Amino acid sequence: MSKKSKKKYKLKHKKVILITCLCLIILIAGMAYFVNKTYEDNILKTLKANYNQYIITNKKSNLYNKNYKKIGTISSGYYLELTKISNLTSKNKYLQIKDTPYYLSYKDIKKSKKQEVKETTNISYYLSINKKLKTKRNITLEKGKKKITLNNGLTTNLDSIDDQYYYISFLGDNFKVKKNNSMKVIGNSKDDKSHVSVILYNKINTNCSDDTCFHPNSVKAHITRLKKDGYYFITFDDYTRYLKEYINLKDKAVLLVTNDSNDYLKKIEEDTKVKVTSIKDNKGLKFTNNNKVSTRKDKLNSISNYYPKKYMIIDEYLKMGQGLDITDDGGKNTATEIAVVNYHFFYSAEKKESCNESICLDTKKFEEELKWLQENHYKTLTINEFADWKEGYIELPVKSVLLTIDDGAMGTGKHNGNKLIPLLEKYKEHATLFLITGWWSLSNYQSPYLDVQSHTHNLHFEARCADGRGMVACSDYKTVKKDLEQSLKVLGDKTSFCFPFYSSDSESLQALKELGFRVAFVGGNTKATRSQNNLLITRYPILSDITLQNFISMVE
């Protein structure tokens, strides 16, 4: 082959190699593009399948910072809210947890529905303390099986503290962090305006009579009264943490303790869901019995507390809850007898209404009576307060009165004139309505100032017997009991009963006892005393011709 031919051949060969190489490059580039496109499509497909504003981690997942560097881990099954993304692309491989500097991989999540926002503190009556927790080393946040680890430490607000753990809110949840020496607490949690009302019962028992021994039902009555006014009860552990500045508490905190130790304490807790702590074994604190409120200024060996006596009236416990100083008057202001007055029907003469029965009362007179009670600082009782007093569980002030209304007829309900409830609510005075439950609906008598109790279901009939007594008194035991059971199904409350036409007999009294009624009322025109039969309590009937002075004479 000539030199010229060889030269042509070499050139041709080079072109073939060049073209082949170029084709290979194009093929490889095409394959790379295809592989990358498939990869990107798969990322986007997985991302769209997994992404939602609300997600759950599908395995133990890494936490990343904004540079996508791993800074910790988070447990599987953890619910989170992500920063919302309107345009998903394959570049969104790391998704930001809302309102945080933390990110998750798209591979580690799955969709979830929105869940309720959790409490920001561990217990509903705790307030976050004015302190921060600062850590430098790796830390682990724990909540049951849930765990979050952070490699670079954390600085966050503290909710509360105990002797072993710090408690924080993190990622919308509550966690505890075990204490160690590398951690630092910054700030001051003191709140000099806060207080805890510590009530110390010397003894709680059913078999003692001295002034510092309380029946368990007395303690239950005190708890009920305080709860009604919005007070809540803390544990002994809460209290010691409060003194150590480990927690802050909402207003109206009460701690109940006793020098006694017996099974009655457990029964009180079962019935009220409130713990009375025995300090018989000291518990490391000493109390002063000075009838003053406790604050963080108290020293552990000189805790201020209230020391109640059996003769103290129920309203003194509200003063204790408020943190006011109380004075032991030796029982000079306690009632030994209480007027129970009895109304029936109400009408308004001013509105041209009329009522011809002797038991009708013009609302003008009723309002006059309520106004007098209020201006003269009388306590109008709830039916539970009266029953607790009658059974000897609480004391009431001398100026106490129980207002009762029989039947549920004219002017007493929202369906038949609505005279009673607006006036009770105007003057914020309490009364008890004895309703014939088979005749009118309970829904017509709803008010926080009106207790509704039983006046039979359908036995309110007069002169059905030979001697003219009401049906309750002349019906047999089974008939009365069945009727009362029907009434209780409507009311759900067996605190009290009122005998129609004031007539009773041994069988009706037996039915009341077996069903567990605490008190029952008749007529009588005398004040109620503790020595009276609890099921035959006397009342003053209010008639249409009553004057204000007549009413005052009854009450005083």
Q: Directed axis angle between helix 216-228 and helix 263-272, to 10°?
A: 30
Does residue 205 sit within a domain? yes
Where among 292, 322, 352 does a domain terminate? Answer: 322
Amino acid making up residue 224: T
Contacts of 375 by beta carbon, 8 Å cutoff, 6+ apart: none
Tell me which residue range forms the domain holding 161: 126-187
Residue 540: name the closest of 359, 306, 312 by CA.
359
CATH code: domain of residue 89: 2.30.30
Q: pLDDT digit string (tens) for 137-173?
A: 789 999 988 899 999 888 999 999 999 999 998 888 8
Percent of the chain with pLDDT over 70: 92
| pLDDT greater at residue 180 or residue 367 | 367
Distance CA 122, CA 238 (A): 12
- Domain assignment of residue 153, yes or no: yes
Mark whether 422 and 448 lie in a shared domain: yes
CATH number for the domain spanning 380: value is 3.20.20.370
Are 183 and 200 part of one and the same domain? no
Q: pLDDT (tens digit, 9 = 90+) per residue, 406-438?
A: 999 999 999 999 999 999 999 999 999 999 999
How confident is the model over 119-135, as a mean pLDDT? 81
Question: Do 363 and 501 belong to one domain?
Answer: yes
DSSP 8-state code for residue 537: B
- Examine the domain organization and report whether 222 and 135 are in the same domain: no
Check whether residue 418 and residue 544 sit in a common domain. yes
**59 φ, ψ to 5°?**
-165, 175
Q: Which of 322, 350, 367 is the last residue of a domain?
A: 322
Encode burial over 55-72: b for 16+ CB neighbours within 10 A, e otherwise: bbbeeebbbbeeeeeebb
Domain membership flag for residue 443? yes
Report how far residue 98's alpha carbon sits from residue 91's, in angstroms, rounded to the nearest whole number.
18
Q: Using 50, 70 and 90 to split pLDDT, how confident is the model at 9?
A: low
Q: List phi, psi (to 5°) of 304.
A: -70, 140
Q: In terms of domains, do 78 and 178 share one?
A: no
| pLDDT of 344 higher than 90 | yes
Does 364 share its domain with 442?
yes
Q: What is the pLDDT of residue 190?
A: 62
Concatenate the DSSP letters of all residues of 459-478 into one string. ---SS-STT---HHHHS-HH
| Three-point CA angle 221, 225, 228, nearest 5° | 140
Three-state secondary structure of 384-432: HHHHHHHCCCCECECCEEEEEEEECCCCCCCCCCCCHHHHHHHHCCCEE
Q: Are 318 and 391 in a shared domain?
A: no
Confidence of residue 2 (pLDDT cuts 50, 70, 90): low
Same-domain check for residues 154 and 241: no
Considering the domain architecture, whether residues 503 and 366 belong to the same structural domain is answered as yes
Which of 44-53, 201-210, 465-474 comes out lowest in average pLDDT? 465-474
- Asked if residue 342 and residue 312 are part of one domain, the reply reads no
CB 175 within 8 A of CB 120: no
Over the Cα atoms of the chain, what is R_g? 38
**341 bridge partner residues:** 403, 540
Top mean-pLDDT range of 187-196, 251-260, 297-306:
251-260
pLDDT digits (tens, 9 = 90+) for 45-87: 888 888 889 999 999 999 999 999 999 999 999 899 999 888 8
In a domain, 91, yes or no: yes
Pick from 322, 352, 383: which residue ends a domain? 322
Task: Clarify whether residues 344 and 315 are in a common domain.
Answer: no
Q: Does 217 reside within a domain?
A: yes
Question: Rounded mean pLDDT of the chain?
Answer: 91
Torsion of CA 322, 325, 330, 336, to 10 degrees: -20
For the ranges 9-13, 186-190, 330-334, 442-446, which has the lowest average pLDDT?
Answer: 9-13
In this structure, is residue 381 part of a structural domain? yes
Average pLDDT for residues 477-497, to the nearest whole number?
97
Residue 389 resides in a domain: yes
Q: Is residue 214 part of a domain?
A: yes
**Structural domain total, the chain:** 4
Per-residue model confidence as pLDDT tens digits over 16-40: 677 777 777 776 655 555 555 566 7
For residue 322, give every residue at least 6 positions away whose Cβ sits within 8 Å of its Cβ, in sequence order, or none: 197
Task: For residue range 93-123, list pLDDT tens digits in order.
Answer: 899 999 889 999 988 999 999 887 555 556 8
- Residue count (the chain): 556
Beta-carbon neighbour count of residue 376 at 10 Å?
11
